[in-house]
């Protein structure tokens, strides 16, 4: 079994390892707290001055990115989500929640979360994460299942990579942002960075951090890249763009499930 930090079950960090790859998983926020290759830490770690949005690699669920002013309409009903960044609702509820550890070994873990049925998220449902460490990679899988109610869904991952020495990112298009800096359903040519934008991307992204070369791949085709900070770059595969409930909604009927994966692997 993986080593754990003491405390109650929900507060214990799981330590997975295989070969040169090590991963620390914190059920508080359901996040990859650190990923190390050959003892090189690849993620921005927890620090007292950083809040839950700004470290590790956390799940954005049941929505990814911003929901404009926290408002959307679903099945003829207007909904208002709590505002948690400026005037908008951002990144869902999973990154602040306590996830249940459903299973864990030295190389894998499964976490589960019952989504709320209150003003934070009125539809319920469940989210499940799987982490698998191999000698050359970590495989992340995230799935969301509707409960008794139909629901919109858009989810993904928000990794804070330590500032890469190099990045090879070749998207085909970018979602235009409007005056509120929110993505709209219009694709434009990709401008030079720095970026805080959502792109259409079908190719693996390659980055180098302290000499460790990584390939980032996913079955998602919407990727947000945030490379404005001097200390970090976020490369975020998502099942839909920001404000997806309005501009590109995906609907789960009762009992339906949707899954996606994100692979972070060492490359030569």
The DSSP result for 203-256, as a single string, is S-EEEEETTEEEEEEES--EEEEE--SSSEEEEEEESS-TTHHHHS--EEPTT-
Two tokens at 139?
A: 């495989």
Two tokens at 126?
A: 């469940």
Q: Is the confidence at residue 67, as pLDDT, over 50? A: yes
How do residues 177-201 score in pLDDT, each as one tens digit?
A: 999 999 999 999 999 999 999 999 9
Two tokens at 52?
A: 């839950």
How do residues 144-171 score in pLDDT, each as one tens digit?
A: 999 999 999 999 999 999 999 999 999 9
Cβ count near 74 (within 10 Å)? 17
Confidence of residue 268 (pLDDT cuts 50, 70, 90): confident
pLDDT score, position 12:
85
- Using CA atoms, how far apart are residues 200 and 208, in angstroms rounded to an integer? 22
Q: Is the confidence at residue 211, as pLDDT, over 70? A: yes
The answer, yes or no, to whether the previous bond of 133 is cis (omega within 30 of 0) is: no
Closest CA to 233 of 188, 197, 182: 197
Confidence of residue 7 (pLDDT cuts 50, 70, 90): very low
- Name the pTM for this structure: 0.95
Are 250 and 239 within 8 A, CB to CB?
A: yes
Exposed/middle/buried for 14, CB within 10 Å: 0-12, 13-18, 19+? buried
Exposed/middle/buried for 183, CB within 10 Å: 0-12, 13-18, 19+? buried
pLDDT score, position 10:
40
Beta-strand relationship, 212-218 and 257-266: antiparallel
Two tokens at 57?
A: 């690699």
Confidence of residue 2 (pLDDT cuts 50, 70, 90): low
Closest CA to 172 of 203, 194, 149, 193: 203
Please give the average per-residue pLDDT across 109-134, as a whole number: 98
Q: What share of the chain is helix, strand, coil (3-state, %, to 5)?
A: 5, 55, 45
Are 163 and 231 within 8 A, CB to CB?
A: yes
Average pLDDT, the chain: 95
Please give the average per-residue pLDDT across 101-129, as a whole number: 97
Q: Is the confidence at residue 1, as pLDDT, over 70? A: no
Closest CA to 30 of 16, 11, 49: 11
Percent of the chain with pLDDT strictly greater than 70: 96
19-23 contacts at long range (C-beta below 8 A, 24 or more positions apart): 19/134, 19/135, 19/136, 20/135, 20/136, 20/266, 21/133, 21/134, 21/135, 21/136, 21/137, 21/138, 21/266, 22/133, 23/131, 23/133, 23/138
Please report, for residues 84, 126, 159, 192, 252, the alpha-carbon distance to residue 258 in angstroms, rounded to integers and kept in the order given.
26, 11, 21, 33, 8
Q: Is the confidence at residue 5, as pLDDT, over 80? A: no
């Amino acid at each position: 079994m993986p080593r754990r930090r003491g405390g109650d079950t929900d507060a214990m960090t799981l330590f997975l390892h295989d070969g040169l790859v090590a991963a620390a998983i914190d059920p508080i926020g359901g996040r990859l707290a650190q990923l190390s290759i050959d003892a090189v830490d690849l993620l921005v770690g927890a620090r007292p001055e950083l809040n839950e949005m700004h470290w590790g690699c956390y799940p954005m669920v049941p929505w990814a990115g911003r929901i404009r002013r926290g408002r959307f309409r679903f099945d003829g009903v207007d909904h208002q989500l709590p505002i948690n960044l400026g005037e908008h609702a951002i990144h869902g509820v999973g990154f602040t929640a306590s996830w249940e550890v459903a299973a864990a070994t030295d190389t894998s873990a499964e976490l589960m979360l019952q989504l709320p049925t209150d003003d934070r998220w009125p539809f319920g449902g469940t989210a499940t994460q799987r982490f698998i460490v191999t000698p050359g990679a970590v495989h992340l899988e995230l799935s969301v299942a509707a409960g008794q109610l139909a629901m919109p869904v858009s989810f993904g991952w928000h990794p804070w990579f330590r500032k890469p020495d190099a990045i090879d990112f070749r998207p085909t298009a970018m979602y235009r942002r409007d005056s509120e800096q929110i993505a709209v359903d219009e694709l434009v040519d990709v401008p030079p960075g720095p970026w805080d934008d959502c792109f259409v991307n079908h190719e693996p992204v390659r980055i180098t951090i302290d000499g460790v070369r990584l390939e980032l791949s996913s079955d998602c085709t919407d990727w947000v890249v945030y490379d404005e900070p001097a200390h970090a770059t976020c490369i975020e595969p998502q099942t839909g763009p920001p404000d997806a409930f309005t501009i590109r909604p995906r609907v789960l009927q009762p009992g339906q499930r949707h899954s996606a994966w994100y692979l972070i692997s060492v490359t030569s």
